Every structure is written in C-alpha cells, then in structure tokens.
C-alpha cells in the first residue's frame, strides 16, 4: 500500500492511451484546483515503529503546490533528466487518499485477538469488493508501473489472507464459545458458593448467639456458685460455733451429772431422815391426839359422872410430853435443812434445762 500511495501521489499521472488505444478514464482531465488543506487524520502510534520520513515528505510535496496553480504549472521548471510532474488528477487522488485513510485508520489501532481479525476482514473486504479497486487498477494500468497480473496475484494473496483470517476468526469464535461456557459454569459455581456462604454466615450468627447466651448462663451460674460458696462458708462458721456451743453444753451436762449424783445422795439421805422423822412425828401426833381425845372424853365423863373414879384413865405426865415436843422440833429443823440443801442442788439443774429448751 505504501508503494502504491507513493507511486500515485509523488509521481504525477500522465495521460496516455492504454494498450487498446483508448483513454483509460474520461475523468482523467487536467483540472485547475486551488490549494486545499488535506484532511490528514493523525496516524495512531504504530505498534513497532514510527512513521518514516519518506511518508512525511509525501504529505509535504502534496501541500507544496501554490494556490491557484496546477500541478503541471508548479513543476515545469524541474531539472532535465528527471520525471516531470505533470497533470494533477484530483478524483483519482481523492479516491486513493480515501482508500488509504480508511484502511490505515481502521487497521492501525492496537487491538488483539478477535477484534483485530474482524477489523482486518472488513478492511480487506472493502479493498477487494469496494468501488475503489477499479480506480486503483486503472491507475496502475495507466501508470504502467505494475501489470494486471501482479494486481491479480495480490488479490489472490489477499483472498488467501482473508480465508486465513476467517479461519482464525472461526477458531476465535469457538474459543470464545468455550470461554463463555466456562464463564457460565464458573458463574453457577460462584452462585452456589455465595448461597453456601450465606448459609454458613447464618449458622455462624446462630452459633455466636448461642455462645453469647451460654456465656451469660455461665456468668450467672458462676455468680450463683459464688453465692453458694459464701453460704457454705457461713454454714461452716455456724457449725463451728454450734460445735463450740455443744462442747459447752457437754461440759454443763457433765457438771449437771455431778450435781444430779449429789442430788441423788441428798434425796437418799433426805428419804432416810424423813422416814425416821415421819415415824417419830406420826407416833407423837397420834399419841398427842389420843391424849387430847382421852382428856376430852374424861372431862365429859367427869362432868356427867362427878363421883366416878377415872384416875386409871388419866394421861401420862407432862415432862414426857415436853421431851417428845423437843424431839419433834429438832426433827422439824432437820427437815427444813434437808429441804434447803435439796433446793440448792436442784436450782442449777433447772437453769441447764431452761438453757437447753432455749
């Protein structure tokens, strides 16, 4: 393409007859054109190298024509021995420029894979099937630099490249389909994993809630255990106090047993003394009562029978009665002393019983 562009734009096309003796195109007439700014699309950066200085010189030569002058007029003073630049054919050059710019701007951008193949396919199709191919072939035939056979070979090569590009495109499409299938499978796997993760998160939240409740329960049980420990310690202290109280009670019971043994001895002694006292006292009381009764009866009999002799029925002497009265008084004093001694022994026992009841 570079060679064609340089051939058509750098070297002016001279009108001449074709091999058949007929002009190639009626449009190839000299036309006076004003200088116009070429719509130069800035070329993107090439992937391997920058634009050559030769390409820049081509654009410069195109724009060097003076305003209002034809290409022939601008180049008639060229040195002899060199190819003179003659008539300018704007329609052909515009067509070539359009083909060049379209192909160059579509083909150059940095693309990879499927996109590159599609761009190349469209580019080649436009070059092969487009209306500009006839103008290119006509220009080549008119200039005489390339033969039709070479153009046909190039077309065949382009078709072969196109077929190869189509094959690559089919491979790319099959790979793309496989990749899409894999992407769908991965998407389903990811969806399943998201569902699984959601369920696992719900389970984790439930476990965290259970752990929180169990920790609260453990805390409450720990506090209850501490309270129970304190209660047990209080009971232990109370039992120790009770043990000390029981020891005191045991000592008091031992003392009470001693007192009771003393009481038993006192009661036995009192019983013996009481029996002797009661026997003597009872006898004295009976005798005194009998004597009193006898005196009363004798007094009544004497009153009724003053002359009767009742001397043999008179009571005994008063001395004996006084002696008996003294003995009875002594017995009474002994009884009182015995009762006081018993009271002294029994009083502590009553206090101990009262304490036990409390």
d(CA 134, CA 140): 10
CB atoms within 10 A of CB 139: 23
The DSSP element (H or E) to which 257 belongs, if any, is helix 148-304
Contact status, residue 71 vs residue 85, Cβ threshold 8 Å: yes
Q: What is the pLDDT of residue 266?
A: 80
d(CA 98, CA 9): 13
Q: What is the CA radius of gyration of the chain?
A: 78
Query: Which stretches of the chain drop beneath a pLDDT of 70?
Result: 1-152, 313, 315-358
Q: What is the pLDDT of residue 51?
A: 41
Cα 7–chain centre separation: 76
Q: What is the pLDDT of residue 309?
A: 72
Q: What is the pLDDT of residue 21?
A: 44
Cα 250–chain centre separation: 67
- Contacts for 290-297: CB closer than 8 Å, 24+ residues apart: 291/315, 291/316, 291/321
Contact status, residue 150 vs residue 12, Cβ threshold 8 Å: no
**Segments in 83-147 forming alpha helices (H):** 90-107, 114-129, 132-143
Contact status, residue 247 vs residue 322, Cβ threshold 8 Å: no
Contact status, residue 253 vs residue 352, Cβ threshold 8 Å: yes
Bridge partners for 17 per DSSP: 23
Q: What is the pLDDT of residue 150?
A: 67
Q: Kindly state the tokens that stand for 16.
A: 């001449």
* Domain ranges, ordered by start, for the chain: 2-146, 259-357
């Amino acid at each position: 393409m570079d060679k064609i562009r340089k051939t058509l734009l750098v070297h002016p096309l001279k009108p001449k007859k074709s091999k058949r003796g007929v002009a190639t195109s009626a449009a190839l007439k000299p036309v006076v054109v004003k200088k116009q700014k070429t719509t130069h699309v800035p070329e993107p950066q090439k992937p391997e190298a920058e634009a050559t200085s030769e390409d820049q010189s081509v654009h410069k030569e195109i724009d060097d024509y003076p305003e209002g002058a034809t290409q022939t007029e601008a180049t008639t003073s060229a040195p002899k021995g060199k190819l003179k630049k003659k008539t300018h054919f704007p329609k052909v050059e515009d067509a070539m420029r359009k083909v060049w710019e379209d192909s160059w701007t579509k083909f150059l951008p940095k693309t990879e894979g499927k996109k590159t193949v599609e761009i190349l396919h469209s580019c080649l199709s436009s070059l092969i099937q487009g209306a500009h191919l006839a103008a290119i072939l006509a220009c080549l035939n008119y200039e005489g630099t390339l033969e039709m056979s070479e153009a046909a070979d190039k077309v065949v090569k382009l078709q072969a490249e196109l077929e190869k590009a189509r094959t690559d495109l089919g491979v790319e499409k099959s790979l793309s389909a496989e990749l899409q299938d894999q992407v769908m499978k991965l998407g389903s796997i990811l969806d399943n994993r998201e569902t699984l993760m959601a369920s696992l998160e719900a389970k984790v939240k439930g476990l965290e809630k259970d752990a929180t409740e169990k920790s609260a329960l453990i805390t409450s049980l720990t506090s209850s255990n501490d309270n129970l420990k304190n209660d047990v310690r209080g009971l232990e202290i109370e039992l120790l106090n009770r043990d000390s109280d029981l020891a005191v009670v045991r000592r008091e019971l031992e003392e009470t047993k001693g007192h009771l043994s003393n009481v038993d001895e006192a009661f036995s002694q009192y019983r013996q003394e009481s029996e002797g006292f009661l026997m003597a006292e009872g006898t004295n009381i009976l005798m005194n009562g009998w004597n009193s009764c006898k005196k009363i009866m004798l007094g009544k009999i004497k009153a009724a029978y003053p002359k009767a002799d009742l001397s043999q029925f008179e009571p005994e002497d008063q001395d004996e009665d006084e002696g008996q009265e003294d003995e009875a008084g002594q017995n009474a004093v002994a009884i009182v002393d015995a009762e006081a001694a018993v009271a002294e022994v029994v009083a502590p026992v009553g206090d101990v019983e009262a304490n036990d009841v409390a």
